[in-house]
A and B are shown apart, each in its own frame.
Chain A
Amino acid sequence: MTGAPPAFLRFEALSKSYDGVRAVRDVSLSIRQGEFVALVGASGSGKSTLLKCINRLVEPTSGRVLLDGEDVLDGAAPPVRRRIGYVFQGIGLFPHMSVAENIALTPRLVGERLPDARIAELLHLVELDPALAERLPAELSGGQRQRVGVARALAGDSHLLLMDEPFGALDPITRGQLGERVRRLHDELELTTVMVTHDMAEALLLATRVLVMDGGGIVADETPAALLAGAGGEVAQALVEVPREQARQLAGLGG
């Protein structure tokens, strides 16, 4: 182990059972700083449960999660969660707070006031007009709302961004644009990102590393290029086949 940088995020023999049914089975793996990891799998494969074990929205049945060498289960949950950006399909903007108030929430929880200039900067990062700051969430479109969701997750200066089906409820155009924007932010801000998605195309386009889950375990751990080259086994290749088949059909129509 000497010489190699310690893993930024590490799962050790992690399992989670609900009423005796195992949603996550004995997962062990390491994620290095700067990786963009996509967790891909069918519904019920355990990918969301695994993600939520990181910020303790789910408490594991056994095993542990180390973040920067520290067990996230040590101490109270809120301080751990404040260090981690979290974006999810439901977005969860608070309807009684303006866009600016929503974005400034995480610093506010620890008694800090986020300067207006920083709010404008965060809005700029997610390609929103800073004039939207005083609007209420109800006045925004779905895509604008999720952009605010991303800005809110970045406001705490966290280096780890967790995303649970972040673009699942958006229209395809918005989805593509926002995905690309998030990937660029990941690079610019030197984030480590873990994204849950059931869309293999999205995973292949955005991630640097794709983990395929099936029945609670990880069945493939490959780069997008390796997956496209046929690596990863049966389950992974079945998922890769979906966008590939669509591309073939589209090419046939065009030809």
Chain B
Amino acid sequence: MSPLLDAVLDLGPQLAEHVLLCASAVALGIAVALPLAVWASRSPTVARFALGFASLVQTIPALALLALFFPILLAARSVFGEDLPTLGFLPAWLALALYALLPILRNAVTALANLDDELIEAADGLGMTAWQKLRLVQAPLAAPFVMAGIRTASVWTIGAATLATTIGQRSLGDPIFAGLQTQNWVLVLAGCVASAGLALVADGLFGLVERGFASRRPALVITGALVALAGIAGAAASTMDWRGDAPESVVIGAKSFSEQYILARAIGSVLQDAGFVVEYREGLGSAVVHNAVASSAIDISVDYTGTLWTNTLERKDNPGRNAMYDEIVRWEQENTGARVLGRLGFENAYGLAVTQETAARYGLATIADLAGVAPQLTIGGDPEWFERPEWNAVRNAYGLRFADQRTYSPTFMYNALISGEADVISAYTSDGRIAAQDLVVLEDPREALPSYDAIVLLSPRVADDTDLIEALQPLLGSIDVETMREANFTVDRQDNKWSPERAGKWLLEQVGI
């Protein structure tokens, strides 16, 4: 079989959860949109307000809308209690339902507004109550248009739901994000094929229902609806836990870059060997991960001291490597209840990297050397870099002024450097491509960039789980930066690419576990 087919066929669980997520989001959208449309048909003010709001929501990029629900739900915990999930299904469901609202609402409002005046006069003249008029006249006549709106909403939702991966909800976005980060285009394609295929199926089925309503053929309506319901029921059945009292699983989170995928799989494999049931939430936004582990939405994450220091503790000083680590351990214990289990042994710091040719041409060895030539150069960074305090710190410490700055996904950043689109990039020191492409990481004599020890964080839920801590103990202090670089490169390289799973196993072998 072809690798693409293999990859698509591996997506069963993601497909099932994707179907359930979209079905429940569209269902919620319908449940809100239809009563709202009826109300709007009786009040022009409500119509203006509801359509205005739905259109406004539509202008928010789907990714941002999904991300916004994390802080909204965090704030809602003050009302609903600490058990309210802030990641995963709930925020994805709410955000996608909001997104599904507009097409359904707009079609329903338009259909109700454009019903023939004569039919409304006849309905009133015969003595129908408002409810009878809705049930006997307005609803059946608006049905094909409402169905067209539901159809559009479903197709949009199926596409947008791939973004739910970034907030920890399993979806067909998993292979897309994983593939994008590890340059595994077969995975990306598999995710796209599956999601597009699902959208086509939904479009076809709801098109059948729509035609059935329009041509008054109930058989078409029932066939389309039954097949759609059967698909949803099948998806629900496949995600059910048939084992009965299965042990609660440990959820391992990963940000969206290769090292995180590999370490998540390595940790998962160690825990599985120790008898734990493991789940992965991969491709999470970097800012989301810490909140997720602090709120026990995930149980284990690998983070970096410098990242937590600036983003979470909001500190601007640089007290040195060990002091920083100790302070983070104390801070987590006091403020979130999460446990810093320990350091993995390597650092993944931000550094500025150039090619050998650039280094030779301008005589660059340290960031200080860069200051004089920066106005002729273009700097590339990942989407976070230019927003991070480290960028400000290093720019101010060395007085850097670049000719231009560009943003790339981590994967494309290295390609941009090699192809000359960018002259300097914000590299990660554990990145396998530094060695493989023989890049020069400029030294930081003024220590503007903090240290980035990789550390393992445990959520409050598992912070005192001695079996789990014991199982993970051998990993601590065992991974040096060269080994990590090599493991990262097996996933990042163009040829003979490994899966993060395989790279994780290889990493464990190298460190003797």
Chain A residue with the shortest CB-CB distance to B122: A92
- A57-B121, A94-B119, A94-B122 given; A82·B127 CB < 8 A: yes
Complex contacts, B124 vs chain A, CB 8 Å? 57, 77, 81
Q: Is the CB of B119 within 8 A of A92?
A: yes
Smallest distance from the beta carbon of B139 to chain A beta carbons, Å?
10
Inter-chain CA distance A193–B471, complex, in Å, is 93
Inter-chain CA distance A235–B499, complex, in Å, is 95
Complex contacts, A156 vs chain B, CB 8 Å? 127
Q: Is the CB of A152 within 8 A of B126?
A: yes
Interface 1/0 per residue, A56-88 and B, CB below 8 Å: 010000000000000000001111111100101
Complex contacts, A77 vs chain B, CB 8 Å? 124, 127
Smallest distance from the beta carbon of A164 to chain B beta carbons, Å?
9
Q: Does A109 contact B (CB under 8 A)?
A: yes
Chain B residue with the shortest CB-CB distance to A93: B122
Chain A residue with the shortest CB-CB distance to B130: A78
Report the interface size class on chain A: 20 to 34
- A96-B216, A109-B132 given; A81·B141 CB < 8 A: no
Complex contacts, B123 vs chain A, CB 8 Å? 92, 94
Smallest distance from the beta carbon of B141 to chain A beta carbons, Å?
6
Interface 1/0 per residue, B129-167 and A, CB below 8 Å: 100100011001100000000000000000000000000
Chain A residue with the shortest CB-CB distance to B216: A96
Complex contacts, B137 vs chain A, CB 8 Å? 94
- A95-B141, A96-B141, A96-B216 given; A88·B127 CB < 8 A: no
Within 8 A of A (CB), among B61-93: none
Q: Is the CB of A55 within 8 A of B125?
A: yes
Inter-chain CA distance A88–B126, complex, in Å, is 11
Inter-chain CA distance A211–B288, complex, in Å, is 79
Q: Is the CB of A90 within 8 A of B122?
A: yes
Q: Does B118 contact A (CB under 8 A)?
A: yes
Inter-chain CA distance A95–B129, complex, in Å, is 19
Interface 1/0 per residue, B97-129 and A, CB below 8 Å: 000000000000000000011110111111111
Q: Is the CB of A81 within 8 A of B119?
A: no
Complex contacts, A92 vs chain B, CB 8 Å? 116, 118-119, 121-123, 125
Inter-chain CA distance A93–B125, complex, in Å, is 12
Q: Is the CB of B129 within 8 A of A88?
A: no
Q: Is the CB of B126 within 8 A of A86?
A: yes
Complex contacts, B136 vs chain A, CB 8 Å? 94, 105
Smallest distance from the beta carbon of B114 to chain A beta carbons, Å?
14
Inter-chain CA distance A79–B117, complex, in Å, is 21
Q: Is the CB of A91 within 8 A of B118?
A: yes
Chain A residue with the shortest CB-CB distance to B129: A78
Inter-chain CA distance A105–B116, complex, in Å, is 18
Inter-chain CA distance A55–B119, complex, in Å, is 16
Q: Does A192 contact B (CB under 8 A)?
A: no
Complex contacts, A81 vs chain B, CB 8 Å? 124-127
Complex contacts, A109 vs chain B, CB 8 Å? 126-129, 132
Q: Does A106 contact B (CB under 8 A)?
A: yes
Complex contacts, A57 vs chain B, CB 8 Å? 121, 124-125
**Most chain B CB neighbours (cut-off 10 Å) among A81, A91, A92:** A92
Complex contacts, A96 vs chain B, CB 8 Å? 140-141, 216
- A90-B122, A92-B121, A96-B216 given; A106·B141 CB < 8 A: no
Please tell me which one of the listed residues A80, A94, A95 contacts residue B127 in the complex, with CB atoms under 8 A apart: A80
- A95-B141, A96-B140, A109-B132 given; A90·B121 CB < 8 A: yes
Q: Is the CB of A78 within 8 A of B127?
A: yes
Complex contacts, B140 vs chain A, CB 8 Å? 96
Inter-chain CA distance A96–B123, complex, in Å, is 13
Inter-chain CA distance A241–B136, complex, in Å, is 46
Complex contacts, A79 vs chain B, CB 8 Å? 127
List 19 A–B pairs whose Cβ atoms lie within 8 Å, in order of A's numbering.
A77-B124, A77-B127, A78-B129, A81-B124, A81-B125, A81-B126, A92-B122, A92-B123, A94-B123, A95-B119, A95-B141, A96-B140, A96-B141, A105-B126, A109-B126, A109-B129, A109-B132, A152-B126, A156-B127
Give residues in B with beta carbon < 8 Å to A: 116-119, 121-129, 132, 136-137, 140-141, 216
With A88-B118, A95-B119 given, can you name 6 additional A-B contacts, CB distance below 8 Å? A55-B125, A94-B119, A95-B141, A109-B126, A109-B129, A156-B127
